[in-house]
Amino acid sequence: MFERLQALIGLGIDKNSLTYKLKQWKVDTSWTLFLDRDGVINRKLAGAYVRHWGEFEFLAGVLDSIPLLMRYFGRIVVVTNQQGIGKDLMNHEDLHDIFSQLQQAVIQAGGKIDCFYYCPHLASQQCACRKPNTGMGFQAKSDFNDIIFTKSVMVGDSDSDIIFGQKLGMKTVRISPVGANDHSPEANVTVASLQVFTRALAGIEV
């Protein structure tokens, strides 16, 4: 009996659950999901850049999560800082090829990413597009004029992602694989992976 009760609580009745918290946002298909790339979609390389598809490794559950996320969000875009271009470690074509292969893998899994935005500049160039600056958000809004920032969620693993989302009035989700919840700035929710966020949103509590 006790186990059965526990199971019922797991169905989103528990007001401390992540699912319950996300339900308060009332996400529907008028919402947009902004995803950082490295550390959210694919494994981040310590001290290095993903320069070609051979170095790109999807994080667990991401490919299955995107089709599920599309039931909740009307649009999914990627916003990523790619300073490796500014450092001449790779070029625009290399990055476009990675996006193209990434998109093909997502499509094969039954999903789709609506657009990829990237900042190729060096931090020292002080451009408007490098997160935490908001240029990529406004570019997306100018391409898809029905984007409403207050009906958007930014998912990222870096402070710059959270600040970007907060500046634009978005809900923010920090990916922190080690489970640390003591980051500053604090996101609305902190989860271990995009998969955990997706499953909680769908009411499949993990």
Catalytic positions are 36, 38
The kind and range of the H/E element at 81 are strand 75-81
Residue whose CB is less far from Zn ion, 121 or 151: 121
User: Given the complex with Zn ion, which of 113 and 129 has the nearer CB atom?
Assistant: 129
From edge to edge, which strands make up the β-sheet containing 32-35?
115-119, 75-81, 32-35, 152-156, 171-175, 189-191
Q: How far is the CB of 98 from Zn ion (least distance, A)?
A: 18
Closer Cβ to Zn ion, 53 or 138, answer by number: 138
d(CA 198, CA 129): 27
Give the interface with Zn ion as residue ranges (CB under 5 A).
119, 121, 127, 129-130
Cα dihedral: 166, 167, 169, 173 (round 10): -20
Q: How far apart are CA 98 and CA 43, in angstroms?
A: 14
Residue 118 bridge partners (DSSP): 80
CB of 59 to Zn ion, least distance (A): 25
Q: How far is the CB of 130 from Zn ion (least distance, A)?
A: 4
